[in-house]
Structure 1
Amino acid sequence: MNKLKNASSPYLQQHADNPVHWQEWGEEALQMAKDQNKPLIISIGYAACHWCHVMEHECFSDEEVAAFMNENFVCIKVDREERPDIDRIYMDAAQLINGQGGWPLNAFAMPDGKPFFAGTYFNKSRWMEVLKQISHLYQTDYEKVAEYARKLAVGVSSEPLDGKPAKPDQEFNNREYNSLWNIWKPQIDFNYGGFKRAPKFPLPVTWEFLLQYHYLTENQESLNAVLNTLDEMAKGGIYDQIGGGFARYSVDEYWKVPHFEKMLYDNAQIVSLYSHAFQITKKDRYREIIEQTLDFVERELTSPENGFYSSLNADSEGEEGRFYVWTTEEMLNALNGNDQDLVFEYYQVTQHGNWEEGKNILLPVSSKEAFAGHHQMALPAFNALLAKADQKLFRFREKRIRPSTDDKVLTAWNALMLKAYVNAFQALGKQEYLEKALKNAHFIRNNMLKADGGLYRNFMNGKASINAFLDDYALLAEAYLHLYSVTFDIRWLESSKNLADYCLEHFYNPQTAMFYYTSDKSEALIARKYELADNVIPASNSVMANVLLKLGSYYDNMNYRRISTLMLGQVMDMVKSSGPWYANWAILMGLETFEPFEVAIMGEDAVAKSHEMQLNYLPTCLFMGGDNENLPLLSGKLVVHKTMIYVCRNHTCKLPVEKTSTALKQINTD
């Protein structure tokens, strides 16, 4: 029978009515496979995945398919967002077998979990062929299948760092850092932004590195690449022009046609990226993007407990993107005859449509400034006209059947959103964003923290579950550092340190100077993996290395700094050769090479002055202070009735100053 009815994952619950006898991953399912000597089907996906829904409808809801699966296999469903450790193992297997992977991911494995075949989406006829071939092979040539599974398991278990002990005393220099642009530049699309070739993912951490690179090297070309990417994304279909928020990726090179699912982790990182770009440029459009995206998160992805939900589905009413696209008739009904010609022209809406079956994705034809100028309108007048039209379109759209929400709350992704609210507060100075960040931080501390200092991964229906993974710890530790920098509440800094110390005890391998993705308290799978490459989310090891460097500065702890340096040294060859896939490591390289500033602000106006300074883009500054000398660098710096700013490097400080403008000059002229 199907055992997913009481699963905590919305993705698993979407399969609870399938005739397939699905089970959750666990000892019971594995033991059943051993007892019955049946191979495993391990089917992995996530709630917002369009092709996962297609395969569920075509294959897993079909009685004929289900009967064959139930008779010949033990069938396991996995939510990759709940169990990324399982997903990583079988995705590695798929990539070893096929050279590529994706979701849905359908792996076939021996009863002990060792995979021997994997693929992605299959239609019904092809899926039945695969099922019959594998069942026949397993029954008639078991030893051959078992031997291949053993060899594949060795491949899955192998790591780039195997046999590569960490080397102490490594140094990083300006020349190597400056040369990174030569690796990145050929891959960038200078016309439409992003990287060359479709599909195009936002990949925020890559552009975060280039912002830092411009700051440290004054390379204007790298800044132009970032700003062009942000401008092109903002006028593309990947951005929801009416409701705010970004889709997961664009299927074309122009950012026009999205895959319509909206992920929390994308929107969190994109808010941070636009916040940093706004600090540099003060562009009104970037402010709009930040505010509209955070409005979307508040409206559609925030739980009553102040956690953040994981995603919105791409599909509604059985169609991908149905909620977001428009026919001309729908537009006319929504606008009710007011300024419709201008709105149609601005959003490039036509009777024929720019997508499927006469439907339109709303795509601004140009910037608002250019459009208003072309029509000889004052910009404020056009902005008011468009805002009124957008409100009408939004209200009309709200009457549609909504895409489903994956309402599980994941620690790692919540940490990214917590950081995003802090970054938006730093850039725009809106107190409500800091309040949202604090509410989420308290939710995490009250619900996701275990008594032993560990974390839970998932919160659903009022209950936390699943041992957390390295990304949960690393991203939360990083978010706490950001929260400390704008509050000077030492509890957030101590919380970050506690998480790092927990990881050093339960995740760290001193031989490789890297952290495993799973703790020594987690169940043993067929492999214990490292996460090294930065992708749509930065690698948990690169985040942890950045955290340790910063904690080393805050606490004057040389062991933290030493481990961070060792970690970067282990991947330097890949940073210098693979460019964007090691972007967060490259950010660490910038900090290691140029050394961060420690900005200590002491006195009753310390927090206010830190906020004033942090309206600027200062990627190499660590802010600390308050009215308590509770960190090594703060000792002896409190002056009665004055608020003093100390700009320091390696705990060696310049002359203290009172004005933030003077402190900024000390930073920018060093």
Structure 2
Amino acid sequence: MNRLKDATSPYLLQHADNPVEWFEWGEDAFAEARRRDVPLLISVGYSACHWCHVMAHESFEDPATAAMMNERFVNVKVDREERPDVDAVYMAATQAMTGQGGWPMTVFATPDGHPFYTGTYFPKAHFQRLLAGVSNAWEGDRETVVGQSSTIVEALNERSALPTGPLPTARTLAEAVETLGRSFDPVRGGFGGAPKFPPSMALEFLLRYGAAAKTPPGEEAAVVMAERTLEAMARGGIYDQLAGGFARYSVDADWVVPHFEKMLYDNALLLRVYTHWWRLTGSVLAKRVALETADWLLAEMRTPEGGFASALDADSEGVEGKFYVWTPEEVREVLGEEDGAWAIGLFDVTGTFEHGTSVLQLPADPDDDERFADVRARLLAARGRRVRPGRDDKVVAAWNGLAVAALAETGAVFRRADLVEAARAAATLIDDLHLDSDRLLRTSRDGRAGSNAGVLEDYGDLAEGLLTLYGVTGETRWFDRAGTLLDAVLDRFSDGSGGFYDTADDAERLFQRPQDPTDNATPSGQFAAAGALLTYAALTGSIRHRQAAEEALGTVTVLAGKHARFAGWGLAVAQAALAGPIEVAVVGPAGDPATTALHRTALLSAVPGLVIALGEPGSAGVPLLEGRGLVGGLPAAYVCRGFTCRMPVTTPSALKTELLS
């Protein structure tokens, strides 16, 4: 009996027809394992994971392997994106026991959920031997197995929280730049060697650090590291040169050969970074990539309900990357001999991938923009006739929060009202479907909310997105909802020592309450919360929220010297905190060109973490606007720090001067 047919997770639904008798995570599985007196076999993955598909095809779809699993274990399938808390505790165990982690993650556990043997991908023959070995050990040496699980759980729970310190100083941030510089690849961009993941949060920090420096951007070391990385990624195969959007990572050090899955969170984070790069330097490449990525998000990732889907698969027709790669012959067939030869040279179609195929790159800008646009359109149309990768269309609150922030800012900066409207629609969906009073549900699909509780990153990233959307639109609905979310963070996630747990105080009890303040592919929940708390404090003057943000940033002080790559978002938030952050209250009639001009000047400022309040004279609800009105009957902007404001200004040039002083 397979119990996954009614799951909301596309990943679980991929396994609904397996001969394995899967359970969803929950008490039913634990009770069945206790009743049968057999171990749990917990398999954790996600829908766009290539090696998850490989293990599924080799083992979970194989009747003989499935029979062994069904006879000797209670089998539990977990979508790590729906249950990041479950993934986190078992990943900690896997890394502690094996020295590495990854997906698919395979965990053998007692009926109480305590792990005693872990691993990642296992080829079928190895996996079958492992099934037999674990089952025999359970039957023949139960005392040792249970003792091992108890030792593992005890050791994990005894691990102390990461040390914390005071709020980072300017010197702390300078040390972080130096740390990043030591691992920076000056030739190919990025940090460290292969594989290379987009270092989105570190890049955001470097741009903010450069914006705060007095050195011109082209000479500031932090900005140079960011620019070289951003350009290398945009020109490499990790970037989809036809449709926009970034793949999950590059398997090589040159950003050439991607691991082809495309994730919402990567593209939301990178969209915002490329927009900020343009805002700081005016880079033509930055603007093009930002707008192409935004267009890709709207074209490929929007759901009918207005949210954004989680991921596109790496595979199509069972082959990784087949949708994206080209041979020279295919290019010529679509474009003809003359344009084909030009495109082959332009996109470096020289057999960089398997079987003589190539991932398109763009080593240099084209010499004919009109021809470039035509060639891209024809290749994209031809590619559109191929079998598309699967899409995981569940809506994750945290990642939609990242998308809301990125699309709202990009739309405002580049005068793209459709992008702002897309951000508003996604925020509305989450507000209407995922929120019940102050409680947040992590996922939905097809307009139906899932049952899994939101974790800290959901609250922090969504609050960040809503506050950004408020700063762009002036709609206080988003400010109010962000405040509700952040009050829940303070009331339900605090660890009592300045940090935050990743789960709420009334969440399902696992063998360990997860708490990881370091960044991974997305900002850590702690740093995401810190950033939103800092912005909210700047809009309200709330000492409670400001203090909580500063205490949460104490971990950055510890990480900056050696592990800056894992504290990028915390460093970016700390840079904003050191800058104030600067607050701009724009007061004027909605739709008035003078109000719009002042608002746009504020939006175009690269001041780190700038906080914007927008409202009409006498509007209530956002404390930063209270008591601030028109000046001589004209719309005005008030530049403040800690609610202490300078004299208001009424022209964009005067506001720009105030922001630069």
Say whether the fold is shared (TM-score over 0.5): yes
Supply the distance in 1 between the matched residues of 2:471 and 2:624 (Cα, whole angstroms). 15
CA deviation vs aligned residue, 1:455-482 (integer Å, no higher than 9, x gap): 1111113210121111111101011110
Query: Aligned with 2:510: secondary structure?
Result: coil
Query: Aligned with 1:117: secondary structure?
Result: strand
CA deviation vs aligned residue, 1:172-230 (integer Å, no higher than 9, x gap): 43233323222111011111111120000002011000001111224511101111111
Q: Which residue of structure 2 lines up, in the alignment, with residue 407 of structure 1?
A: 393
Tell whether 2:544 aligns with 1:559. Answer: yes
| CA displacement at 1:159 relative to structure 2 | 4.6
Match of 2:358 among 344, 357, 360: 360
Q: Which residue of structure 2 lines up, in the alignment, with residue 375 of structure 1?
A: none
Q: Contact 2:109/2:115 (CA < 8 Å) preserved in 1?
A: yes
Match of 2:403 among 393, 417, 421: 417
Supply the distance in 2 between the matched residues of 1:171 and 1:358 (Cα, whole angstroms). 53
Supply the distance in 2 between the matched residues of 1:546 and 1:612 (Cα, whole angstroms). 23
| Mean CA deviation greater in 282-291 or 552-561 | 282-291
Supply the distance in 2 between the matched residues of 1:516 and 1:506 (Cα, whole angstroms). 9
Alignment of 1:248-267 (within 5 A): 248-267=248-267
Supply the distance in 1 between the matched residues of 2:11 and 2:174 (Cα, whole angstroms). 45
What count of residue pairs does the alignment treat as equivalent?
649
Q: Contact 1:629/1:636 (CA < 8 Å) preserved in 2?
A: no
CA deviation vs aligned residue, 1:90-140 (integer Å, no higher than 9, x gap): 100100001110000001100000001111111111111211111111111
Supply the distance in 1 between the matched residues of 2:279 and 2:571 (Cα, whole angstroms). 21
Query: Aligned with 1:179: secondary structure?
Result: helix
| CA displacement at 1:338 relative to structure 2 | 4.6
Q: Which residue of structure 1 lines up, in the alignment, with residue 223 of structure 2?
A: 223
Supply the distance in 2 between the matched residues of 1:612 and 1:257 (Cα, whole angstroms). 40
Tell whether 2:479 aligns with 1:487. Answer: no
Q: Contact 1:487/1:607 (CA < 8 Å) preserved in 2?
A: no
Instruction: Give the direction of change, closer, same or farther, for the CA distance of 1:172–1:240 in structure 2 (3 Å limit).
Output: closer
| CA displacement at 1:423 relative to structure 2 | 2.0
TM-score, L = length of structure 2: 0.95
Query: Aligned with 1:310: secondary structure?
Result: strand
| Mean CA deviation greater in 484-493 or 271-280 | 484-493
Tell whether 2:25 aligns with 1:29. Answer: no
Query: Aligned with 1:189: secondary structure?
Result: coil
Q: Contact 2:24/2:78 (CA < 8 Å) preserved in 1?
A: yes
Instruction: Give the direction of change, closer, same or farther, for the CA distance of 1:418–1:50 in structure 2 (3 Å limit).
Output: same
| CA displacement at 1:556 relative to structure 2 | 1.1
Q: Which residue of structure 2 lines up, in the alignment, with residue 395 of structure 1?
A: 381
CA deviation vs aligned residue, 1:63-85 (integer Å, no higher than 9, x gap): 11111111111100000001111
Q: Contact 2:138/2:145 (CA < 8 Å) preserved in 1?
A: yes
Q: Which residue of structure 2 lines up, in the alignment, with residue 600 of structure 1?
A: 585
Alignment of 1:608-619 (within 5 A): 608-619=597-608
Q: Contact 1:172/1:592 (CA < 8 Å) preserved in 2?
A: no
Q: Which residue of structure 1 lines up, in the alignment, with residue 245 of structure 2?
A: 245
Q: Which residue of structure 2 lines up, in the alignment, with residue 436 of structure 1?
A: 422
| Mean CA deviation greater in 44-53 or 215-224 | 215-224
Q: Contact 1:471/1:517 (CA < 8 Å) preserved in 2?
A: yes
RMSD over equivalenced CA pairs, Å: 1.6
| CA displacement at 1:171 relative to structure 2 | 5.2
Supply the distance in 2 between the matched residues of 1:575 and 1:424 (Cα, whole angstroms). 29
| CA displacement at 1:646 relative to structure 2 | 1.3
Query: Aligned with 1:116: secondary structure?
Result: strand
Supply the distance in 2 between the matched residues of 1:132 and 1:147 (Cα, whole angstroms). 20
Tell whether 2:560 aligns with 1:575. Answer: yes
Q: Which residue of structure 2 lines up, in the alignment, with residue 646 of structure 1?
A: 638
Match of 2:197 among 198, 201, 225: 201
TM-score, L = length of structure 1: 0.94
Supply the distance in 1 between the matched residues of 2:214 and 2:43 (Cα, whole angstroms). 48
Alignment of 1:400-549 (within 5 A): 400-450=386-436, 452-465=437-450, 466-510=452-496, 512-549=497-534
| Mean CA deviation greater in 621-630 or 118-127 | 621-630
Q: Contact 2:23/2:77 (CA < 8 Å) preserved in 1?
A: yes
| Mean CA deviation greater in 608-617 or 287-296 | 608-617
Q: Which amino acid aligns with 2:585?
A: A
Supply the distance in 2 between the matched residues of 1:292 and 1:571 (Cα, whole angstroms). 33
Q: Which residue of structure 2 lines up, in the alignment, with residue 63 of structure 1?
A: 63
Structure 1 unaligned blocks of 5 or more: 373-381
Q: Contact 1:8/1:460 (CA < 8 Å) preserved in 2?
A: yes
CA deviation vs aligned residue, 1:326-352 (integer Å, no higher than 9, x gap): 1222212211335221111111224xx
Supply the distance in 2 between the matched residues of 1:570 and 1:185 (Cα, whole angstroms). 20
Q: Which residue of structure 2 lines up, in the alignment, with residue 107 of structure 1?
A: 107
Q: Contact 1:488/1:607 (CA < 8 Å) preserved in 2?
A: no
| CA displacement at 1:551 relative to structure 2 | 1.4
Supply the distance in 2 between the matched residues of 1:570 and 1:366 (Cα, whole angstroms). 41
Q: Which amino acid aligns with 2:371?
A: L
CA deviation vs aligned residue, 1:616-655 (integer Å, no higher than 9, x gap): 3232321113113433333322126211111111222112
Query: Aligned with 1:508: secondary structure?
Result: coil
Supply the distance in 1 between the matched residues of 2:168 and 2:305 (Cα, whole angstroms). 45
Alignment of 1:252-291 (within 5 A): 252-291=252-291
Tell whether 2:36 aligns with 1:45. Answer: no
Q: Contact 2:48/2:314 (CA < 8 Å) preserved in 1?
A: yes
Q: Which amino acid aligns with 1:198?
A: A
Tell whether 2:184 aligns with 1:192. Answer: no
Supply the distance in 1 between the matched residues of 2:494 and 2:363 (Cα, whole angstroms). 51
CA deviation vs aligned residue, 1:570-624 (integer Å, no higher than 9, x gap): 4521233311101111122223333211111222243542123312323232111
Q: Contact 1:20/1:75 (CA < 8 Å) preserved in 2?
A: yes
Supply the distance in 2 between the matched residues of 1:577 and 1:332 (Cα, whole angstroms). 50
Q: Which residue of structure 2 lines up, in the alignment, with residue 7 of structure 1?
A: 7
Supply the distance in 2 between the matched residues of 1:127 and 1:31 (Cα, whole angstroms). 25
Q: Which amino acid aligns with 2:66?
A: A
Query: Aligned with 1:576: secondary structure?
Result: coil
Instruction: Give the direction of change, closer, same or farther, for the CA distance of 1:133–1:291 in structure 2 (3 Å limit).
Output: same
Q: Which amino acid aligns with 1:653?
A: C
Q: Contact 1:4/1:16 (CA < 8 Å) preserved in 2?
A: yes
